[in-house]
Amino acid sequence: MKGSCLCGAIGFEIDGPYPKLYQCHCSLCRKQGGSVSNTGLIVAANKFRWLSGESMISTWTRETGFRSYFCSRCGAPLPNPLRDTGTIWVPSGLIDGDEPLEIGAQLYIGSKAPWDRLPPGGLQFETAPALTELIALLHSRSTR
């Protein structure tokens, strides 16, 4: 599966099998994505590789450790290492093509925007499970 930023200068590739997606409704993710939630997937670092434009990646890190990589040309959010877990966070909106991905969990629904309407069903968390638990959940065969 391949992906790219808005202007196409930065490209990447992910080897399958692909985990489920998650949607995070916390205020940081809303601000980073400019929408009601941030939909992403978490992949093993050894299944991810940059194809082009790596020198155009800019970064910003909040005091809490929240990290954001983005394209220095178009500003699109980019994949980045997820703490020290050996995984990469990938914003799903960057994925090119039509892979059959599914959403496995809704996170931080307790702080979602008042106009945000969640789809019925699926796993929903008031905040979020421990990161290792979330990664295992998204890589499992079933979320029901």
pLDDT tens sequence across 17-55: 999 999 999 988 888 888 888 999 999 999 999 999 999
The reply to whether 144 falls in a domain is no
The number of domains in the chain is 1
Residue 15 belongs to domain spanning: 2-139
pLDDT of residue 143: 46
- Any domain includes 44: yes
Q: Domain holding 19: CATH number?
A: 2.170.150.70
> What CA–CA distance (Å, rounded) separates 25 from 21?
13
Strand partners, 107: 24
In angstroms, rounded to a whole number, what is the distance separating the alpha carbons of residues 119 and 79?
25
Q: What pLDDT digit, counting tens, does each position of 81-124 carry?
A: 988 889 999 999 999 988 889 999 999 999 999 999 998 777 99
Instruction: Please state the pTM of the whole predicted model.
Output: 0.89
